[in-house]
Amino acid sequence: MLSTQALRAHLLASRLAGDVATSRETSLRSYRAFVARDPRVTIGLDPQWSWSVRDVIALMADRCGVSADPEQVTGADVIDPERTLGRLTAFAERLGAVAARGGAVLFGTGHPHRLLGFYADLADALSAAGCSVLTPAQGRCVDITTRFGVRTYRLEYVRGVARLREAGAGGPGAHSHSPLPVRVALGAAADAGGQLPDLVVGDHGWVCGAGQLGIEAIGLADTDDPALFVGEAEGRVSVAVPLDDAVRADHYRPLTRYVLNRACLSQ
C-alpha cells in the first residue's frame, strides 16, 4: 500500500505538485480569458457567479496553492501537495460511492497521451466491482473549432476511456479541452434510450460539460484550468484535483494505486 507520505514525496519529485511546469504567465492568461467568458477556457461551464481576475486568483490560491498575489506575474506556478492529496482522497470517495451501488460511469480524457492509462486502470477496477463502464457514441464524428480551423475527430474508447482521434492520425489521440465530446456521448446515450452515467470521470471539457448538464463529475486539473475549480466552487463539479496534467504517463501510476486503495477497489 502506498502511504500518504510516500505519495507526497512522489508528487514533489515528479513535479505533479510543488513547482510545476505551468508558468504563472500561462495561468494568468487563462484566468483573464475565463473572466472574459472565452469558451476555450470555460470549456463547457456557464459560470453562475460574477468572477473578476482577482476572484479567480483568490480561488486558485485556495484550491491549488498558487500565489494569491495579483502582482506576481512571472515564474513557475506552485501546487500545494497537501491540497492534491486532500482532493485525491475526495476523488477516491466518489469512486467508492458509485462502486458501492454498482452505478454507471463514463470516462473521457482530453489528455490521452498522458492520462489515458490512469483512467483506464480506474475503469477496469470499477468494472470488476460491478459498475457499468459506458461507451456511448463509439466511432461518432465530432467537429471541433481549433486555431487551425474546424477539425473532424472520431470518438473512440480504449479500455473504457473516451478519446478523440483525428481521421488518419496515429498515436494515442488528440489533446482537447472541448466539452463537445461529452455532449455527443451523453446525447447518443439519451437518444438510444440507454443508461446515463451516475458519474463522469475525466478532465477539461469532459468534467465541465457533464457538470453543466447536472451529471456528477470529478477530474484532474492544472493551474491554468480554472473552469473545473470554479465549477467545484459553484457546486457543479464534485471534485477537482489540482496537479500538473502533462507530466510523463508513468508518473500517474502511484496516484492510481493510492486512489484505488482508498476507494476500496484494489485488486
Q: What are phi and psi of 78, to 5 degrees?
A: -130, 135
Show pLDDT as tens, one digit a residue, over the chain (267 residues): 789 999 999 999 999 999 999 999 999 999 999 999 999 999 999 999 999 999 999 999 999 999 999 999 999 999 999 999 999 999 999 999 999 999 999 999 999 999 999 999 999 999 999 999 999 999 999 998 877 788 899 999 999 999 999 877 777 889 999 999 999 999 999 998 889 999 999 999 999 999 999 999 999 999 999 999 999 999 999 999 999 999 999 999 999 999 999 999 975
Domain, as residue range, for 45 = 1-267
Residues of the chain by 3-state class (helix, strand, coil), percent to 5? 45, 20, 35
Q: Which residue has the cell 475549480?
A: 229
Cell of 191: 437518444
Phi, psi values for residue 44, rounded to 5°: 100, -10
- The number of domains in the chain is 1
Q: Which residue has the cell 464524428?
A: 141
Entry pTM: 0.96
Contact yes or no for 144/110 (Cβ under 8 A): no
Owner of C-alpha cell 482530453: 110
CATH at 101: 3.40.50.10490
Q: Which three cell numbers stand for residue 32?
A: 483573464
Q: How far is residue 52's CA from residue 55's CA, in Å, rounded to a whole number?
A: 5
Q: What is the CA radius of gyration of the chain?
A: 17
Please tell me the total number of residues recorded for the chain in this structure: 267
- Give the whole-angstrom CA distance, residue 49 versus residue 59: 13
Handedness of CA 20, 52, 214, 206 (dihedral sign): negative
